[in-house]
Amino acid sequence: MTDKIYKKMLLRRRFCKKVLLVTAAFVISFYVSVFLFGNLKAPQVMHITDLHRCPVCYGVSLCPELYSNQITIESHNHWTRVFNAKNIYYGYTKSNRKVVLKKLAHDWELQELDSNICKTWGLKSDCKPVSLLNASNIDNRIIDIVQFNLTFPDTEPRKGLVLCPYAYSIYDLLQPLTNNRKGNFKSEMINIWTMLSINPEPIILQVLPKSKGWPVPAYAGVCGRLEVVAFEGEPISSLTHIAWHRKLKYAQKILDAAMDFTFKHERFRFYLMDWSLDNIVANERDEITFVDLEDIVVLDKHISPRNDLPDWYQRYSREIMGPGFTFSIENMCKHHLSDHNLWAACYILAGDDNPLLYPIPKHVNASRPHLDRLLNECVNSDDRFRTISKLQHVMTDMLLDEKIVGYGVR
């Protein structure tokens, strides 16, 4: 019996030693890596731009401002930087305006791009990013990456922007960027290819500038693989404590934005794929902004349809495809007009997943029962264009009613 007890004690000691050794090794390796890469210190802006990867980057328009310390990163909350999986940072300009600095991808996505870059461009396996300046047919490569997203691939996911129904429209979409080019044209086209490969948000923010009334962040520019935009507010999903009439204000502006993205641009429609209250922020003036524009379908409404688009001039209404946020990109791209944005807006206001406007206060339901009816029609019926117009009118009228606006916190 004594021998058995001794053996058990010996095994426990060995096990404890192994656990201690593994734990110590992890702690040591963790802190060594942290100190080696400087993550316990607030990173200087230039250290996170990956400027050495240019021209396989987003551009250099904001590099002078970053070099001259016109923008500094918040120095507190060190652990957020160590575990910053989303590569999103916050900082301030010299004038004390808060900004958001985004690498627009996870580290593994950027590493995957870099590991395949030589093969993708048909260069030697040990090529450097600058070698791409000697490559030819850059225009065709841009068309190819847009075309890839139109083939509805099963084996690999789409990369951000879907431009339809025909890939050749990409150069009309890019006019605001190419018309304002200031540097090396070839380098800037590789920048565009990189954004289309990783995240098209900087392109969309220049095509739909905040200065022209679009509900998107004010775009400051890019440097290397870093985009800088204005900080526009807090996610609406975190504002659950506010008065219900303020939620109604947000709802009205969300519907207005859905209509703008669908109709406002003279050439294109912009169907947002990631409608979520996490991705819509509000400021102290109750203005809303859509802050994640990575996943988007851009439809050229002025094309001449070929035989492959027999239903082009018909409107496409979302079919009942299942619960939750589901939709068909293929069907959106085959019709000159879709109600996708309208349905998506109504879904985040009145759908199944933490809807913004529900529960509607009893006094509002009693005096305006048609609000609930119209919201449900917008989510579940097939004539959303008419329903949206009625909803906009009803909300405008309600926001002028002191009996509704005058009530305090829900």
- Judgement on whether residues 189 and 249 belong to the same structural domain of the protein: no
Q: Is the model's pLDDT at 408 over the cut of 60?
A: no
Dihedral sign for Cα 31, 33, 36, 40, please.
negative
- Cα separation, 219 vs 226, in Å, equals 12
- Judgement on whether residues 288 and 398 belong to the same structural domain of the protein: yes
Of 231, 254, 284, the residue at which a domain comes to its end is 231
Q: Is the model's pLDDT at 42 over the cut of 50?
A: no
- 17 band by pLDDT with thresholds 50, 70 and 90: low
Residue 28: the pLDDT is 39
Specify the pTM.
Answer: 0.85
Residue 182: the pLDDT is 72
Residue 24: the pLDDT is 44
- Judgement on whether residues 376 and 335 belong to the same structural domain of the protein: yes
Is 410 part of a structural domain of the chain?
no
- Judgement on whether residues 366 and 260 belong to the same structural domain of the protein: yes
- Judgement on whether residues 32 and 108 belong to the same structural domain of the protein: no
- Judgement on whether residues 102 and 215 belong to the same structural domain of the protein: yes
Q: Is the model's pLDDT at 148 over the cut of 90?
A: no
Is 145 part of a structural domain of the chain?
yes
Residue 322: the pLDDT is 57
Q: Is the model's pLDDT at 389 over the cut of 50?
A: yes
Residue 29: the pLDDT is 39
Give the residue numbers spanning the domain of 343.
235-405
- Cα separation, 95 vs 220, in Å, equals 14
Is 13 part of a structural domain of the chain?
yes
Q: Is the model's pLDDT at 78 over the cut of 80?
A: no
Q: Is the model's pLDDT at 77 over the cut of 50?
A: no
The pLDDT tens digits for 120-131 are 999 998 899 999
- Judgement on whether residues 145 and 242 belong to the same structural domain of the protein: no
- Judgement on whether residues 214 and 120 belong to the same structural domain of the protein: yes
Looking at every residue in the chain, the average pLDDT score rounds to 85
Residue 127: the pLDDT is 92
- Judgement on whether residues 117 and 250 belong to the same structural domain of the protein: no
The pLDDT tens digits for 280-337 are 999 999 999 999 999 999 999 999 999 999 999 999 987 765 556 677 888 999 999 9
Of 231, 252, 269, the residue at which a domain comes to its end is 231
Q: Is the model's pLDDT at 150 over the cut of 90?
A: no
- 107 band by pLDDT with thresholds 50, 70 and 90: very high
- Judgement on whether residues 283 and 182 belong to the same structural domain of the protein: no
Residue 13: the pLDDT is 56
The pLDDT tens digits for 165-197 are 999 999 999 999 988 777 788 999 999 999 999
The pLDDT tens digits for 243-278 are 999 999 999 999 999 999 999 999 999 999 999 999
Say how many domains are in the chain.
Answer: 3
- Judgement on whether residues 180 and 78 belong to the same structural domain of the protein: yes
- 352 band by pLDDT with thresholds 50, 70 and 90: confident
Q: CATH no. for residue 377?
A: 1.10.510
**Strand partners of residue 269:** 299
Q: Is the model's pLDDT at 33 over the cut of 50?
A: no
- Judgement on whether residues 92 and 148 belong to the same structural domain of the protein: yes
Q: Is the model's pLDDT at 15 over the cut of 60?
A: no
Residue 31: the pLDDT is 38
